[in-house]
Structure formats: structure tokens, C-alpha cells
Structure 1
């Protein structure tokens, strides 16, 4: 009896998995959550910068307690928000759904990755040059720079990329508050391609 219940349960969760995996509302909700988390950290990072300047002036050169830097973590969350958004858009395409149903390994490898520029192409999006540039930058923060000071391989630390905005060659894990704006602009342009999440009732009575 237990084995039959277990098998029924496994079948139920397999069905749920198959349904939720291609439901654009699920991807929209996840992307919105990550985007909110990104905004909270990005705003706090901006406040920290101002606080550090004020503390430096007030301390007159004396040591002050260290405030942990969270800007790179914000970049990682922005990267994941856009990655999830692009994956949701890609999974809304019938061609992508059919490829996954056929267990097309090439499509699956492209989709289940952190390569935002490739996922966006799979979703049929035509990104501008600036959008591709911020996506490639976000890939770095999604894979390592948002979590670690060093990547898995030394070669990934080499300052090989030239900023498309300044023309200066910079380390791959460099960022600025302007990048936060670019992430918000990228999200604002492509978020409407997934369903808007409905308003909810919180269940609080206003009868008194």
C-alpha cells in the first residue's frame, strides 16, 4: 500500500513539475521577487556609500568600523532576476517547449545556464548593443563575482573586457551604481512580455 501511495505521490509531483516549469506566471513571480531583492540591496548599497563618505569626514582619518560591501550581491540578484525573466520568456515559446519535450540536449544546455545573452536569443529577443553588454557583465556576477572575490580559474580574473560605455579596460567584477539603473531599464523593457501578477486580498477586515 505504501509503495502505491509513494508512486501516486511521485506521479503527482512529476505532473506539478511539468506544469509549473512552463507556466509563465511562475517565472514572472520568481523574477519579480528577485528584482525586489535586487532593488533593496542596491538601494542599501547606495546609502552605504553616502554613510562611508560622512564617516570618513567625521573621523578625520581615524579608523572606523567596516561596513560589509553588498553592491556585488545586488548585481548577482539583478543578474538572476533577468536570467529568470528571459527563461520564462523562452519557455513561453512553443518551439522551446517542444524541444525540451523531445529532450533536446542542445536547447536544454542553452536554457539551463547563466548565459543571459544566449538565453535571450533562445527567447527570440533582439537586444541592443548596450543591453548585450550589461547581460555579459551580469553573467560574470551570476557565475562568481556576486558570491566570491575570486573565480574558479585565474584566467577569469583577467581584465580582458573593455567597457562599452567608458572605453576603459576594467576587471570583470567591476561595477558602478549606473549599472543598477541599466538593470532596471532592462527589466522594464522585457518584463511586460510575461503576465502581470494579479493584486491579492490580504484578508484583513476593515469593518471597524
Structure 2
């Protein structure tokens, strides 16, 4: 038992409860549901093509590049073209994400490697949990499917996101995370990525790649 569990157990004993009483649980859930919601910017309250257009505009304003494909099967060729057009090596590291693994990488000449990055990879691909239109951000869930090292160590990070997973605002994404994982199994880390890494600390001069990838390329799957 952890110190936290020990403290909570002592509180429950002093109150004469176990923490599993149905009525008490319902009262708490209703109180949380009635609590006033935070202010959500109106900018992201759009849908359909307008939402996708806003996501692209905000991502590009943050110095990311965006490409659209019509199905997951088109992703490997699109990524191979991106690497070739930017004169980058035809190498790519990815985690164990089943959506990525199901794509036809064998139809390209890419040299694929798998697992977390140790810092020597130039290019990596990840699959986002979702995106946010109001800021052009991507939401990354940690785990062997999409190791967090791929978010920060390679010079060039390519992120695949399904159009259906792009929401208007942050609050909507957090609701999806809670629904997908549940209260007792939330991911250890949720990273929010908006554009490539940058810093203006030195003489207020913008430097890309200061703390992570120099390039961020987004592939939106419109299936």
C-alpha cells in the first residue's frame, strides 16, 4: 500500500465509510457534472471542412507542414515522398501502433526500424490520439505504441492523425482521453505538440530544433 492509499484509508475509517457506497458516489458524480464548465474559445467551435481548414492553418502558422491523404494505405507513399522532397534519408522509426503497422510500408523503399529512439534516428513517425483545430496541436499518448522518445529525439517527426479525431478545442480532446482510458487507467504521459521545437531565448532569435525536432510534418487521413 502506498502512502497515498494509507492516508485515504485512514480518512475513510474516521468517516465510517469504505468509498464504495453507491449513494455517496452518485452524489459526487452529480456535483461534478453540475460544476460550471470553463470558458471555451469560440474560434474552435466549427465542424467539417471548416474545422480541418482551421487545423491546417493553425498548424502551418506554427511552422508545421500538412499533407492530406484519402486513406491509411496512402500514408507510406506520402511519407516517402516527403522525405525525398526534403532530401532526407529513406529511414523511419516507429513504435508498435497497430494502425501504423497495418499500412503498406513494403510498397516503399523506406528502411523501417521499430521501438523507442535512443537518439540516433533522423526520422520518426507516430500516430496521434487526436488533434485540436483552435491551435493546430496534436495530442500524443505515451506507451509502446507511440513512444514519447519519438516525439523529441529525431530531427524530423512525422505525425499521422485521422480527420475524425480532430476536435475543435482542448476540452473535447480531454473528454475523449477520459472516455477511452477511464479513470483508473489514464496514460502516464499526454504530450501536446504544436509545430516543431523552437526557442527564442538567445538574443530573441528564433531557433528551430532547440529542444526537439527541427521539422514537424502532419499527415491527415481523410478516410
Q: Give the TM-score, by structure 2 length.
A: 0.25
Q: Give the TM-score, by structure 1 length.
A: 0.26
